[in-house]
Structure 1
Amino acid sequence: MRYDGDVLVIGGGIIGLSTAYAITRAAPGTRVIVLEKESGPALHQTGRNSGVIHSGIYYPPGSLKAKFAVQGSAEMVKFCAEYDIPHEVTGKLIVATERSELPRLHGLVQRARQHAIPVRELGPAQIAAYEPRVRGRAAVFVGTTGICDFSAVSTQLARLAQDAGASVRCDARVEAIGRRSGGVAVRTASGDVLRARVLVNCAGLHSDQIARLAGDDPGMRIIPFRGEFYELKRARADLVRGLVYPVPDPAFPFLGVHLTRGIDGSVHIGPNAVPALAKEGYGWLTVHPGELASTLAYPGSWQIARKHWRYGVGELHRSLSRRAFTRAVRRLLPDVTADDLIPAPAGVRAQALLPDGTLVDDFLFKETARVVHVLNAPSPAATASLAIGREVARRALRQL
């Protein structure tokens, strides 16, 4: 069998590009090809998030999330500094606005200590010293959190991988995958056939579909959740100095509506989390009937709806009503009004869901003969992308 490359990576987001970069560094001379279905890299999850470099404070000890985030946050700051990518270590406040949230806030302090993350506990007056317009009963300041431009990070990773001999091919949608003795063959929408010794699936929102194309049962389904954002009007951007988060609800793998001053000085507020009607459904009018039917036919979808329908109704209400969204924001930022908010681009999160309705809350990898699948790469995937890329590269090179 003639090989066009040694490792074929499907997906040109930050994880796919980091994997290609890591392979070229760990094993110089390895022929790597990245296939991206869009006209450029990082146009979906990577390019549509809040740009936060997470510290790792939220994640349970022993989880891959904790391992990758604690290591990856400092590494991402160093990478951005080395290649002049816009970034800033701002720190962030996690604010309890209700008495019932105080035990959970204290639990985060304990978790920070387990991860050796420096934090400072604050009372109401001290909160005002950091964020004069924010109100809360207590807060934690996490100094290692920052912001950056993850699209620029992805562009740099692609450049470094290509300089080391990798090929990044855009407009290359994968339509068929065949397993061969000693390798795999992939056919793209344009009719090109590429053969490699090992396949790496970093397809994000489409990772479950790619797994099935490869003949593997992923054991889960990607359910798309749209995160909708607003932006503060420029004249009101001074309401927020940095990053402000609520205390997260451990029953749901979303951090809640938060305030993020981005690297460009704009302040984004959100996201809420509503089911998307397509894997790339960035608005209610984007509907892909085949993808929607697949989601509705999956048993896990009905299980999660049954478990979390009250939470879902609240999220849908905030999606459809700016005033309802504003009321949620006012818990943290009382001075904000509905007129201060203007719609901002939404993102879609690729959430892995098990058949029993369990939301997969950690990274999920699966290996079969000559194939490595990245089936769930939730936040903090962008933060920890360099560490995750090395892990995926290690698995791929072991298969070689």
Structure 2
Amino acid sequence: MVRVRTAYDCDVLVIGGGIVGLSTAYAITRAAPGTRVTVLEKEPGPARHQTGRNSGVIHSGIYYRPGSLKARYAVRGAAEMVKFCAEYGIPHAVTGKLIVATDRSELPRLHALVQRGRENGIPVRELGAPQIAEYEPEVRGLAAIHVGTTGICDFVAVARQLAHGSGAEIRYGTRVVRVDRRPERGVAVLTAAGDVVRGRVLVNCAGLHCDEIARLTGDEPEVRIVPFRGEYYELARPELVRGLVYPVPDPAFPFLGVHLTRGIDGGVHIGPNAVPALAREGYGWGTVRWRELGSTLTWPGSWHIARRHWRYGAGELRRSLSKGAFTEAVRRLLPGVSEGDLVPTAAGVRAQAVLRDGTLVDDFLIREGPRTVHVLNAPSPAATASLPIGREVARRALSAL
């Protein structure tokens, strides 16, 4: 029998140049020096989507179910991210944050967060209404908790450093259109430019398009990415907010609600809400991609979500279409804000994995196939947790070589 020999361009081929893909490349080259890694990114630079379009918050891990990947990776990742930023001179700050209850019905959920934080090993201070003003004089609430390990940083700068430090070959402006996987011969990828890139193992970190890439390899992801747009405003009077202020989240949804975030540039962002996007990169109502919208509408899980949560969705849609309604939501936390204080700024889109029965996947989801590793759900706090996530994906990729 004659063995066919294949010339590989690399050992591990990573699709996606966001923070998770670049962290994976970084982790591979540190765990196994000499391993050849190539990253394919369709945009002209790194971190152009979820990584670069969020609140810039280093999450503490207080929200996440103890023992879940989110909880473990966020707590560990927050400490590592602060250290990484300090080591490479990336702008960051450990600011702490307030989670504020503005209605009596939220008090049991706030107390549950205290317990969850303690189970996750996170320092939490409980505050009465008068103590809120110690941290945020303009914020009003019935009670609050202060989470000291929350911070902010420039995640785009982190992604650039990971790209630089990985030693990987990174090809920007390279869109994948076809994948040919043969377990005995590795994976060959065809790009939109007509180039073929061959690797022994493929790692799918394509974010908003990860389920599509999984299907190109021949693996059935069993989830569909349903994009949710998060719209933000900038506060024209940033002096109203000193740090980070969050509402008490609804545990039925993997969204944290409209919050106030003082960024590393000194500006204060307010948002996001969560409305269905009409395209996977639909950063405004005017962006519609019919094939992608059809993919969402033909997925049974989308209709299950609509039936179960239409009231919640109607409220989010109202705040999207009405600046006054958005302002009304903000005034629950910050009574002194007016509609004129809110200046529209760039939106983001969350790549939310949804099961066929309408379940919103709440944890990180990593699956493997022959010579493939797929990251199928990595929403917030993925940027915070990117270093430990990258090591886990790298471990799986290296074991498949």
Q: TM-score, normalising length from structure 2?
A: 0.98
Q: Which runs of 5+ in 1 are unaligned?
A: none
- Please state how far the C-alpha of 1:335 moved relative to its aligned partner: 0.3
**Which residue does the alignment assign to 2:135?**
130
Partner Cα separation in structure 2 for residue 270 and residue 77 of structure 1: 24
**Which residue does the alignment assign to 1:219?**
222
- Aligned residue for 2:52, secondary structure, equals helix
**Which residue does the alignment assign to 1:329?**
330
Partner Cα separation in structure 1 for residue 347 and residue 293 of structure 2: 19
- Please state how far the C-alpha of 1:182 moved relative to its aligned partner: 3.0
Contact residue 182 and residue 370 of structure 1 kept, 8 A: no
- Report matched runs for 1:380-399 at 5 Å: 380-399=381-400
Aligned with 1:23 (options 28, 39, 58) = 28
Greater alpha carbon shift after TM alignment, 175-184 vs 247-256: 175-184
Partner Cα separation in structure 1 for residue 181 and residue 130 of structure 2: 63
- Report matched runs for 1:169-208 at 5 Å: 169-180=171-182, 181-208=184-211
Partner Cα separation in structure 2 for residue 61 and residue 134 of structure 1: 30
One-letter code aligned to 1:226: R
- Report matched runs for 1:1-400 at 5 Å: 1-162=6-167, 166-180=168-182, 181-233=184-236, 236-400=237-401
- Aligned residue for 1:49, secondary structure, equals coil
- Please state how far the C-alpha of 1:298 moved relative to its aligned partner: 0.8
Partner Cα separation in structure 2 for residue 324 and residue 277 of structure 1: 22
- Aligned residue for 1:238, secondary structure, equals helix
Segments of 4+ moved more than 4 angstroms: none
Question: For this pair of structures, how many residues does the alignment match?
Answer: 395
Partner Cα separation in structure 2 for residue 20 and residue 130 of structure 1: 40
Identity %: 76
One-letter code aligned to 2:173: D
- Please state how far the C-alpha of 1:112 moved relative to its aligned partner: 1.1
One-letter code aligned to 2:154: D
- Please state how far the C-alpha of 1:117 moved relative to its aligned partner: 0.7
Partner Cα separation in structure 1 for residue 321 and residue 296 of structure 2: 22
- Aligned residue for 1:345, secondary structure, equals coil
Contact residue 48 and residue 346 of structure 1 kept, 8 A: yes
Partner Cα separation in structure 1 for residue 259 and residue 194 of structure 2: 45
- Aligned residue for 1:46, secondary structure, equals coil
- Aligned residue for 1:108, secondary structure, equals helix
Contact residue 303 and residue 357 of structure 1 kept, 8 A: yes
One-letter code aligned to 1:172: T
Q: CA RMSD in A?
A: 0.5
Partner Cα separation in structure 2 for residue 194 and residue 296 of structure 1: 33
- Please state how far the C-alpha of 1:294 moved relative to its aligned partner: 1.1
